[in-house]
Structure 1
Amino acid sequence: MQRQLPPGPTPWPLLGNLFQKDVLPLYNSYAKLTEKYGPVFTVWKGPKPTVVLCGYEAVKDALLGHAEEFGGRSNIPLKIPGSRGQGFVNSNENKWRELRRFTLSTLRDFGMGKRRMSDRVQEEALCLVEEIAAAQGQAFDPRETIRSAVSNVICSVVFGSRFDYKDSAFLEQMEIVTDLTDFLRSFLGIVCSALPKVMDFFPGKHKKISAEAQKMYTFIHEKVKSHRQSLDPENLRDFIDCFLIKLEKDQYHNKVIFSHEDLVVAVLGLFVAGTETTSQALLYSLLAMAKFPHIQAKVQQEIAEVVGTHRPPSMEDRVKMPFTNAVVHEMLRYDKFSSEIFPRAVTRDTEFRGHKIPLGTSVIPLFTSLHFDPLWWETPEEFNPGHFLDEKGEFQKRDDFMPFSAGKQSCPGEALARMELFLFFSTLFQNFTFQLTGDARERDLRSLYFDHMKNHLYPPLQAITCPR
């Protein structure tokens, strides 16, 4: 099999390239690996290969030009709910397609991409403003509050209600979500995914993560149970109600595709994805604006000119706010630490760019390699909103910008995430000026963010209320 795959660094027996520091993490090593092996190369995470795609041309060719071949999904060999093929993380193509189709349709029915969802995000953004204002300009850690605000948007769709920011059960789930996603991004998470049976014999954080994920599974299971008891087919409240009705209809017609387990794990997936990625992006934006006050001031000036102070920003304002929109996009581009937690897989034996990739092989399209490619971006290592502005200062879309992936496996919540990012971001900077405190002011943006990602350390911020 190794002879058929694209070239790559020589793996060690059993361990592959796991402990070769010049290979992993890929966001640090891809440039050198690409220079040596080309834009399509193979790394071995333990005894199993992963094909890595680097650069705009290779990624676009795979995800859009060969969408069917690169449209599979790898299972996660971790002992967490959903790792055995339920919900969105499964390699059953027909089941995955049907679940994605049903989820997108249901989310649209509950307003995703529509005015009522925009109103819901606006309401939550104002709750967030009120919570931050309670700090009265003192230094504070924004993580918990922002996670809760972002999560409440998807909770209102999935569970039919939002949670109070001080709700202890809700806050426990927020902590679990953060621990789980941080673990899956970490080197230990990569090792556990590559060598699950070996790691079963060792104590460590992976054991704790599995237990925490089970708590979250139980929390959602209880929500589903409560919904089943109060279900009214004439008054569907949320995603869970719609899924329960689908289960009943499929059972009646002897067309059983999903199970109760699929429902719980699908909700868990929406809950995690709808919480962590967007909240991390918003936290990153606060750091970026505090670190670059001249950009923050220009954002605030545009908000003041277009929106004023007597109403919250709306999605209709976005087209009139090209600089603010560009800052939001640049913030997504500049996040070098984002990773493909859930690799794709080829759905058949595939010939691609002169290489043979066997059926079922894991594939990682490395989006960092697109977003930091000096051939496409003017100043890739700088935080520069001008990357998304034309010569007239108008916002410009870019084909080489794929923070939500592309093709068959693109993020189903992309429309909601884009809405949340713009509305939360613009509402926060309509109301506050954010400043770093202490020695955090002297450090660069990446080291500040990396400390949070790796060590859960977040520099305190001050939120100074904007004058009216």
Structure 2
Amino acid sequence: MTEFQSITTTILLGFVTFIIMLISVKFLWRRSKMPPGPFPLPVLGNFLQLYSDGLLPGLLKVSKKYGSVCTVYFGSRPTIVVTGYKALKEVFSDSGDAFLNRGCLPVFDRLFKFEGLSFTNGDTWRQLRQFSLHTLKDFGMGKKSLEDPILEEAHHIAEHFRNLNGEPFEPSTTLICASSNILANILLGTRFDYNDKNWMEILQKSREAFHILSSVWGQLYEFFPTIMRILPGPHRNIFTNLEPLENELMKSIRLHQETMDPACPRDYIDCFLIRMKQEEDNEKTPFTIRNLKSSIYDMFLGGTESTAVTVNFGYLILIKHPELQDQLYEEIDQVIGQAREPKAEDRSKMPYMNALVHEIQRYSDIFPMGFPRATNRDITFHGYYIPKGTNVLPMLTTALQDPTYFETPEEFNIKRFLDENGKFQKNNAFLPFAAGKRACIAESMVRMQLFLFFTIILQKFTLKSMVDPKDLDISPTESGIENIPPAHKIIFIPRTIEGGA
């Protein structure tokens, strides 16, 4: 090596070393101002600390050590983990709009391409949400008019269970179809039969996608999306399994385009298409086919899965604790009887059923990690500096399991939602729908649906386990982005009460 080459090599090495040191100093300086947390490794971040326990237990373990506001690294991506009702309330409601943006969620970012109701930000999100709230209300969301399609679907479920003639049955796929039909009624103006093999297969594949997403493969994708995109493995089935649903929704949109009457909109899609026509000269309009497809895709995935899984968990809880059914039968027979069907207005007269539904939601804890937010400006939070664009993970499970608000939270106990007089009482830490401006858009519909689905089935059936309830394990089979209930067969025995349906 010549003297010139030696000097050049030395200068290059010195320059590279200087750059590395500069980046390291900048990283350490910024990290020192952010909330505390385990020190991340290059590329891996805090993967090793979290992966050894599983993502959800790992995050809870880290927050227990570092506090209600701490920092973990998903690969090279810093994420602020927020735990406990008080800190979550600050994120959702008390900090203005600082945490209003949608955070990074690699699987969903790939699926939705930052389009649609839940995965856009700023003015696009505001316009889409305002339009969706207004339109869904027009089609019954939060109103008594939505009661009829929910009751109709509950009757279809009851008829399906009655036709089993007491044969043990695993209800998860039927429940997903029933839940999807409530949304299909509002969004697509249609209903799918439980014997529709194509639709049932689409829903089954969607369900399998959520199972993979909540497994270790889905968690690996969240840490290392760039690498996992090119690696083979079960995580690829997340996208292939959801593709048929996306295609079916696009097929419905095209059919609506061909048959729509602007003077008589039938459903959400028609209203969106009408708005598109009105804004066709606006180059910046968010009302596009891509945002329409992503919006209904998002509502189908989130609304169908969460409600069906909650009902499924509820059935498992009822066969695990059969004594609950006797108390519910007594309230149903006193308030409603067997001669008429339940109504949404009955909820205010049925504190025990209302408490049961709330406790099922709390205990099943469907989306324990919530959905990530992101800061839309630099902010000081709990005395720490959080830069603009930082992911914030609101751990909903830590509100639903907060011992300050729910005594012995690991136990199922509906009395926590009843006062000393047996009347229903609210609990501020009950946050299965999140809260604030990004809260679940379909909360009122889900509440009505859960109440009517549970009430009408328990009005007509006794639910029994195939094994001794003491031996029945209803713990989630996967706990990631979603808590997945185990598959257990249930026996639905018609209640033989004079005058009953």
Shorter chain as normaliser: what TM range? over 0.9
Residue 130 of structure 1 corresponds to 159
Do structure 1's residue 274 and structure 2's residue 316 form an aligned pair? no
CA contact (8 A) 2:180 2:304 kept: yes
Do structure 1's residue 465 and structure 2's residue 465 form an aligned pair? no
CA contact (8 A) 1:45 1:191 kept: no
Within the candidate set 29, 34, 43, 1:14 is matched to 43
Rate the CA distance shift 1:66–1:355 in 2: closer, same or farther, 3 A.
same
Distance 2:383 2:132 in 1: 37
Residue 453 of structure 2 corresponds to 424
Do structure 1's residue 237 and structure 2's residue 261 form an aligned pair? no
Distance 1:270 1:46 in 2: 29
Secondary structure, counterpart of 1:144 in structure 2: helix
Rate the CA distance shift 1:152–1:189 in 2: closer, same or farther, 3 A.
same
Within the candidate set 189, 198, 215, 2:244 is matched to 215
Do structure 1's residue 48 and structure 2's residue 100 form an aligned pair? no
Secondary structure, counterpart of 2:79 in structure 1: strand
Residue 188 of structure 2 corresponds to 159
Residue 131 of structure 2 corresponds to 102
Do structure 1's residue 145 and structure 2's residue 159 form an aligned pair? no
Larger Rg: 2
CA contact (8 A) 2:477 2:484 kept: no
Shifted more, 210-219 versus 16-25: the winner is: 16-25
CA contact (8 A) 1:6 1:51 kept: yes
Secondary structure, counterpart of 2:464 in structure 1: strand
Residue 228 of structure 1 corresponds to 257
1:366 is aligned with what amino acid?
Answer: M
Within the candidate set 207, 218, 239, 1:178 is matched to 207
Rate the CA distance shift 1:92–1:372 in 2: closer, same or farther, 3 A.
closer
Mapping for residues 301-450 of structure 1, pairs under 5 Å: 301-336=330-365, 338-340=367-369, 342-438=371-467, 442-446=471-475
CA contact (8 A) 2:379 2:388 kept: yes
**1:341 Cα shift?**
5.8
Secondary structure, counterpart of 1:3 in structure 2: helix
2:94 is aligned with what amino acid?
Answer: G
Distance 2:312 2:470 in 1: 16
How many residues are treated as equivalent by the alignment? 467
Secondary structure, counterpart of 1:49 in structure 2: strand
CA contact (8 A) 2:367 2:483 kept: no
CA contact (8 A) 1:76 1:83 kept: no
Q: Tell me the percent identity.
A: 36
Cα-to-partner distance string for 1:163-199 (whole Å, 9 max, x where unaligned): 1111122112211321233333333212213312111
**1:2 Cα shift?**
2.5
Distance 1:9 1:189 in 2: 22
Rate the CA distance shift 1:140–1:378 in 2: closer, same or farther, 3 A.
same
Distance 1:456 1:327 in 2: 18
1:301 is aligned with what amino acid?
Answer: E
Do structure 1's residue 77 and structure 2's residue 98 form an aligned pair? no
Distance 2:47 2:161 in 1: 42
CA contact (8 A) 1:440 1:448 kept: no
1:376 is aligned with what amino acid?
Answer: Y
Within the candidate set 54, 64, 84, 2:93 is matched to 64
CA contact (8 A) 1:284 1:449 kept: no
CA contact (8 A) 1:16 1:45 kept: yes
Secondary structure, counterpart of 1:251 in structure 2: coil
2:465 is aligned with what amino acid?
Answer: L
Cα-to-partner distance string for 1:376-419 (whole Å, 9 max, x where unaligned): 21221110001111111100111111110011210001011111
Secondary structure, counterpart of 2:112 in structure 1: coil
Do structure 1's residue 199 and structure 2's residue 224 form an aligned pair? no
2:90 is aligned with what amino acid?
Answer: D
Cα-to-partner distance string for 1:420-447 (whole Å, 9 max, x where unaligned): 0000011111111111113775034325
Shifted more, 296-305 versus 212-221: the winner is: 212-221
Cα RMSD between the aligned structures? 2.2
CA contact (8 A) 1:159 1:239 kept: yes
**1:267 Cα shift?**
1.0
Distance 1:254 1:32 in 2: 48
